[in-house]
Structure 1
Amino acid sequence: MKYVLLIYLEENALSDTERERCYGESAQLAQQLNAKGQYLTTAPLHPVATATSVRVRDGKPLVTDGPFAETREQLGGFFLINAHDLDEAIAIAAQIPGAQVGTVEIRPVLEVAGLPEK
């Protein structure tokens, strides 16, 4: 089953040096997961100041700067993995460096027929 592991943290929780170390450790984890056939993709996200939110109301798009919800912790990146079950996904989420300073939300991915294969 596919799971997305959403990494939330305060944007200023890491210094530039800590952030670079986090990226390196995340790349190592991705390599380990890849060797086990569990890795699909991962990516850090640019700061929330670069975000744009779109809502459609009455058929018209409403575009605003920033995230939809204002919270202390922002979505900072994600892993998309294959795991046998939630327990295995939890074990992987606990290895994500961002979990040490933030929160990793685990969500099963709904498979929808008709989507392009990657």
Structure 2
Amino acid sequence: MKTYLFSLFTPNVAPPEDLDLGPVMAEIERVNDEIRAAGGWVFAGGLGDLDAATTVTVASNGSPLLTDGPYAEVREHLGGLSIVRSDDYDRVLRWAERIASATGFPVEVRPFVDEHHPGQPPTTE
């Protein structure tokens, strides 16, 4: 089975106070249940606010440099992720489409590199 990362991108603004996340979370859980039933579940989780981020880099002298906040200033940020497995790429895309539809946010789907040949792009079989 191939392994895929779903990256859910969200805007850098707080959601409206009157937003009811119940239906959104219920639909995401239905998708997660379908992924589990298909044997493709690996991991999923939402990420904390941007204020909780710390970026770690290494200075030219080799010392670690810690900076509050995300690495780049952008209009959207990674808000959550899922890792799934499947031999059926169309199924993987349907799961991502359902998550995007439920949240209204873009979901990027990317394969992991082939675990049998580290550093090489995944095969297209």
If the TM-score is normalised by the length of the shorter chain, which range does it land in? 0.7 to 0.9
Cα RMSD (Å):
2.3
Q: CA deviation at 1:11?
A: 4.0
TM-score when scaled to structure 2?
A: 0.76
- 1:96 and 2:99 aligned: yes
Contact 1:9 1:73 in 2 (8 A): yes
Q: Provide the rounded CA distance (Å) in 2 between the counterparts of 1:74 and 1:6.
A: 10
Structure 1 stretches of 4+ moved >4 Å = 97-100
5+ residue gaps in structure 2?
Answer: 118-125
Q: Provide the rounded CA distance (Å) in 2 between the counterparts of 1:71 and 1:86.
A: 29
Q: Provide the rounded CA distance (Å) in 1 between the counterparts of 2:66 and 2:23.
A: 35
Q: CA deviation at 1:105?
A: 1.1
Between the two proteins, the alignment pairs up a number of residues equal to 113
Q: Provide the rounded CA distance (Å) in 2 between the counterparts of 1:6 and 1:56.
A: 26
TM-score when scaled to structure 1?
A: 0.80
Larger C-alpha radius of gyration, 1 or 2? 2
Matches within 5 A, 1:29-44: 29-44=31-46
Contact 1:26 1:97 in 2 (8 A): no
5+ residue gaps in structure 1?
Answer: 114-118
Q: Please point out which of 74, 77, 88 is paired with 2:77.
A: 74
Counterparts in 2 of 1:63 and 1:112: CA distance versus 1, 3 Å: farther
Identity, % of aligned positions: 30
